[in-house]
Chain A
């Protein structure tokens, strides 16, 4: 036992001294942890892809509590890591506080905006990605009724719903889009029971494709859609594998690309606001072995066509957050 303890101690010291060579980039995960099958895991994928392709190393940390955010950022900054990539809007407050203390270090925040000279803020055009899955939903629907289930009723989630409705109506002008929000408190992100019942309610109103943009609540939506034999659409990361054969596709935010780009740019990274949209592969639809059979050639063609048109500006998807209103859906 004591030998084992010594060995573990020695290897821990080795691991500590081996980490954090000068100017290695660093990655700070949010509370969900590295393998959360969602946002953080996507960041991890991007970082490992960069490490494999370039042969370089990077430092990383998984936070265990909110209080560690600032501490972790300061540790990395003082160890000379550059750039330091943070994942999640919860890092906005700590970054606002500490970024000015390390003017020579570049910080990146994914999914949030911090207006400081050494911070790059990566945001996603979720409405464009939702537009694409809305088109696919409308093409997959046989009842001409599709549903949207949001988590907490906040402008960001209405942005998803609005883009989705626009995409569906672009394919089928007569389509009915049902939109429900799970609630108005943060509990709405983790209420799969209510997600299930909302799905049931939308099914009884005729919906046969349901798009969930609701965090943990979405697990219940996808489950009920699979149990009831209708199609569903996942969000944020590729959720096709959760219910193979029932999830039509997922609207993915390519956090991995954002992290990869930041690592690739290194210390010379451009600061300011970086918008990840359809044109730079920041958002898109997920197709893999779990949903190939559901995605028809017409869908692929239509999505590719719309992607090109959005990128060229021919199609302008209305952003709910730009004026707090949606032309194609009433809430």
Chain B
């Protein structure tokens, strides 16, 4: 495998890892506060559709992005209502959101645009263009560093950089602010937080809202960053892979970055059977590479490589003692 091919594979890795990363961080906020969320997929899908649809109508991807985030946050609100206020089963609520989004997006797309559940193709300002970082063209010819900077780091859409910045931001918010400490405490021992006179319900709603915001970004990146329009079910299971990444990352922001990059790299490798064969000298089934994220997650869960301990109060609605 030569250097340029490697750069291309890593480039693909970054593009494929970004939606996973945003969704993974979304799940991290929610689950750290004790709300399991398997509805990441549905929220991404809703945002992917609304972003593309509103961008198609208004011609501005930023307006679309706001609509997409709004849609994802509305679904997050429903999840919050069901699992925080009404103390319902969080898993069932998440599944319901996935079904709701899968059905509604297609039905609404069909009635708005009449193109078989798609949105029109976007162009110009209606999609996120790529951003060339300063001096990318000038230093492209420098060996090694040039291609790494010009092809790998530069030339992605805005949301990729937002996604990467979210990692330190998430770490800072969760581990260096009062809000973060309380949010984590709500996921471990909500009774203690309540005793201290802080609203458990308020904190959990805040976490779910942040989750909606981040899945909104992830969905918008799929339909307007990577693609130029919405196609039904276009998330194609990425919300579930993000959940696997979250477990793999043991609910930690920097680990989440590593896990998503690893899963993205495996997906990128699966696209290049020729590279694998050229490097290893034998053929590896594409199916095996596709399944590896899940296999790795099961290995982690089984406790072979460190232990993944979920937040202690995760999945349980908080009932105030009377």
A interface residues (Cβ-Cβ under 8 A, vs B):
32-33, 35-38, 40, 178, 180-181, 183-184, 187-188, 190-194, 196-198, 200-201, 204-205, 216-217, 219-220, 223, 242-243
Contacts and interface: CB of A to CB of B under 8 A. Distances in A.
B236 A187 contact: yes
Contact of B234 (A35, A192, A205): A192
B272 A33 contact: no
B115 interface: yes
Nearest to B13: A197
B226 A196 contact: yes
A197 B222 CA distance: 12
Query: How would you classify the secondary structure of chain A's contact residues: helix, strand, loop or mixed?
Result: helix
Q: Which of B15, B236, B271, B274 has the most CB of A within 10 A?
A: B236
Given A197-B15, A223-B228, 14 more contacts: A38-B116, A40-B116, A180-B271, A180-B273, A181-B286, A190-B231, A190-B233, A191-B236, A193-B226, A193-B227, A196-B227, A197-B16, A197-B268, A219-B121
B236 to A, nearest CB: 4
Contacts of A197: 12, 15-16, 267-268, 271
Nearest to A227: B228
B252 interface: no
A198 B232 contact: no
A204 B227 contact: no
Given A32-B117, A204-B8, A223-B121, A193 B236 contact: yes
A219 B236 CA distance: 15
A132 B8 CA distance: 32
A220 B5 CA distance: 22
Interface in B4-58: 5, 8, 12, 15-16, 19
27 contacts: A33-B117, A35-B116, A36-B116, A38-B116, A180-B271, A187-B233, A187-B236, A188-B236, A190-B233, A191-B234, A192-B227, A192-B234, A193-B19, A193-B227, A193-B234, A193-B236, A196-B226, A197-B15, A197-B271, A201-B271, A216-B232, A217-B231, A219-B118, A219-B121, A219-B231, A220-B227, A223-B227
Contacts of A243: 121
Contacts of A242: 121
Contacts of B195: none
A33 B114 contact: yes
Contacts of B110: 33
B234 A216 contact: yes
A33 B222 contact: no
Contacts of B115: 35-37
* Closest CB pairs A-B (n = 5): A36-B116, A191-B236, A216-B231, A190-B233, A201-B271
Given A184-B287, A201-B271, A193 B222 contact: yes
A179 B268 CA distance: 16
Nearest to B268: A197
A214 to B, nearest CB: 11
Interface residues of B, number: 33
A38 B114 CA distance: 12
A219 B287 contact: no
B221 to A, nearest CB: 9
Interface string B155-197: 0000000000000000000000000000000000000000000
Contact of B116 (A33, A187, A192): A33
Nearest to A181: B286
B12 A200 contact: yes
B202 interface: no
A201 B272 contact: yes
B290 interface: yes
A32 B116 contact: yes
B71 interface: no
A204 B19 CA distance: 23
Interface in B239-289: 267-268, 271-274, 286-287
A187 B267 CA distance: 15
Q: Which of B117, B222, B231, B267 has the most CB of A within 10 A?
A: B231
A219 to B, nearest CB: 6
A192 B231 contact: yes
Contacts of B121: 219, 223, 242-243
B303 interface: no
Contacts of A36: 115-117
A192 B222 CA distance: 9
Q: Which of A181, A188, A223, A243 has the most CB of B within 10 A?
A: A223
Nearest to A190: B233
Contacts of B290: 183-184
Contacts of B232: 190, 216
Contacts of B12: 197, 200-201
